[in-house]
Amino acid sequence: MIRKLVAGLSVLNYLGSLLFIFGFLMMLPALVNIFFPEPHISARVIGAFVVPGLTLSMIGLFLTKRLPTSVPDIQESMIITALAWIVVSVAGAIPIFLLLERSFIDVLFEATSGITASGLTIFTGLEEMPPAILFWRSFMQWIGGIGILTFFLAVSFRGGSAAATLFSAESHKIQSRRPVPGIFNTVKIIWTIYGGMTILAFILLYLEGMTFFDALNHTMTLVSTGGFSTHDASIAYFSNFRNGCLIEYTMIFFMLMGGTNFLIHYKVSTGNWRILYQDFEMRLFWFIIVGAVIFIGTDIYIAHGDKVLSSWPNFQRHFRTTLFQTISIITSTGYATRNLNDPYYPALAKQIFLLLMFVGGCIGSTAGGFKVLRLGVLWRTLANELKQLSLPPKAVIPLVIQGRIIPPREIKRVCALLFAWIGLIWTGTSITLACTDLDGVQALSGMLSAVSNMGPFFFSTPELAAFPVAVKGCYIFGMLAGRLEVLPLFVLCARLARR
């Protein structure tokens, strides 16, 4: 009994530390209001960000100083992880709720989409929104892209076995090796790479013609593969810029970087460029991208052949649109140069987009989805089972990937995760169909986008905004479950159910 009490108080202690840091971060948009002022709401902006930020920090400080702490086991770490993402999502919604005349379920949806780097939005008229709100949406994606507990460990200088357990709970991915020994050194390297990507992307986008504010916001949502934009038209807004093509290719490059395992980035930074094609997951990643571009491009050519080949500029535009949208979907960024529901995309192209939404990017990246490596594990498992049929019954064929034997426990976990993933998507799709007028493919695209932390869907933003509370709540749960890869949220639900 005492052990459970101490563990419960320790959970609150960790949440308090996170709230203390997050409260200070919440005050940053008030500084944005100084450089990009909105005179008619300046006082409201300060009140919406500074007051809640200070309150959260004071609550966090009280919990941290007054409650005991202990090293959590893996189950307790998963509970801390799930609660942390829920609490931060609710906290992130407070400033938006105070500034905009929207229901709390709407702002909670937007904040959850931001912190999970999902990119689904129910807001329109972004150009007229206060700059502080636009910055806060983008900043939440930048924090959440690499993981809020990873960020917390980086800025709080917490190390040791407790940090290792928390890091494992938030990034419980098969074959999740560390670049260097020591959890703090690992987190430091991850954030150094992430920060370097952020600085480089901002410089390039600014030099290519974006305004300072647009470059800042799109940089944060680009490297985090979050996909929030400051314009309703998303990246199509920049298509008529003098360097519009260059902006799109720059974004393609950084979306690929965000969707790639950060361990690969580290090895490349040490001079091992061959890892980009020697690594099993990377080879499969390139194969899926090339295959998708060929099939989608061919399908578009069959539907719009005369227009595609009518001139060299038209062909270039066709290729760039296909490549951009493929990379945007598989890395779960969700930017768009064309709406996915546009008749420009034929039926086969839309079906491939759905498959890419499910697959997602690489493990150890900022991308969402089921992950490429897990798909490779399932494919190799199927191949081994077929090979087993031609061998004696007692023959054992180990599953070997990248020179490492994958233990049966990991294979079972991948299969269990696949079942949970499909179950969540089916449940959410069913609820959407029961409560809205969407057809089957549209409903599937919405819930699949939520669970895979993607952003795009095959219906309009106003339709999403008009969804009933039940469907929005289902999407919120799906975004959190997908970002946490199901297990921490299920562990929390199981603990609450037992109590």
Mean pLDDT of the residues in the chain: 86
Who has greater pLDDT, 32 or 112? 112
pLDDT given for residue 239 in this prediction: 87
Distance CA(351)–CA(431), nearest Å, equals 21
Q: Which of 106-110, 152-156, 361-365, 399-403 has the highest mean pLDDT?
A: 106-110
Q: Which three-class secondary structure state does DSSP give residue 400?
A: strand
Q: What is the pTM of this model?
A: 0.90
Q: Which three-class secondary structure state does DSSP give residue 405?
A: strand
- Angle, helices 42-66/2-26, rounded to nearest 10 degrees: 150
Phi, psi (deg, nearest 5) at residue 71? -80, 115
How does residue 44 score in pLDDT terms, banded at 50, 70 and 90?
confident
- Pairing between β-strand 400-401 and β-strand 404-405 as defined by DSSP bridges: antiparallel
pLDDT given for residue 232 in this prediction: 92
Who has greater pLDDT, 306 or 14? 14
pLDDT given for residue 393 in this prediction: 75
Mean pLDDT of all residues in 148-167 = 56
**Sign of the dihedral through C-alpha 82, 88, 89, 90:** positive
- DSSP class of 38: -
Token output for 293: 């571009």
Token output for 209: 């013609």
**Which has the closest alpha carbon to 260: 155, 397, 361, 402?**
361
- Say if residue 440 is exposed, middle or buried (CB neighbours under 10 Å; 0-12, 13-18, 19+): exposed
- Say if residue 373 is exposed, middle or buried (CB neighbours under 10 Å; 0-12, 13-18, 19+): buried
Q: Which three-class secondary structure state does DSSP give residue 401?
A: strand
Dihedral (Cα; 429, 435, 437, 439), 10-degree rounding? 20
Query: Given a cut of 90, is residue 51 above it in pLDDT?
Result: yes
pLDDT given for residue 404 in this prediction: 84
pLDDT given for residue 13 in this prediction: 83
Mean pLDDT of all residues in 280-308 = 90
User: DSSP secondary structure string, 116-185?
Assistant: TT--------GGGS-HHHHHHHHHHHHHHHH-HHHHHHHHHT--HHHHHHHHHHHT--TT---SSSSHHH
Q: What is the pLDDT of residues 178-217, one digit of tens each?
A: 555 556 677 788 888 999 999 999 999 999 999 999 999 9
Find the helix or strand (DSSP H, E) in which 404 lies: strand 404-405
Query: Given a cut of 70, is residue 175 above it in pLDDT?
Result: no
pLDDT given for residue 157 in this prediction: 46
| 234 touches 123 (CB < 8 A) | no
Q: What is the pLDDT of residues 451-491, one digit of tens each?
A: 999 988 999 999 999 999 999 999 999 999 998 888 777 77
pLDDT given for residue 394 in this prediction: 75
| 219 touches 139 (CB < 8 A) | no
pLDDT given for residue 490 in this prediction: 78
Mean pLDDT of all residues in 323-333 = 95
Who has greater pLDDT, 32 or 53? 53
Domain ranges of the chain: 172-499
**Which has the closest alpha carbon to 28: 132, 129, 116, 108?**
132
- State percent of the chain over pLDDT 70: 90
**Which has the closest alpha carbon to 482: 332, 337, 382?**
332
pLDDT given for residue 174 in this prediction: 44
| 399 touches 468 (CB < 8 A) | no
Distance CA(303)–CA(105), nearest Å, equals 41
How does residue 406 score in pLDDT terms, banded at 50, 70 and 90?
confident
- State percent of the chain over pLDDT 90: 54
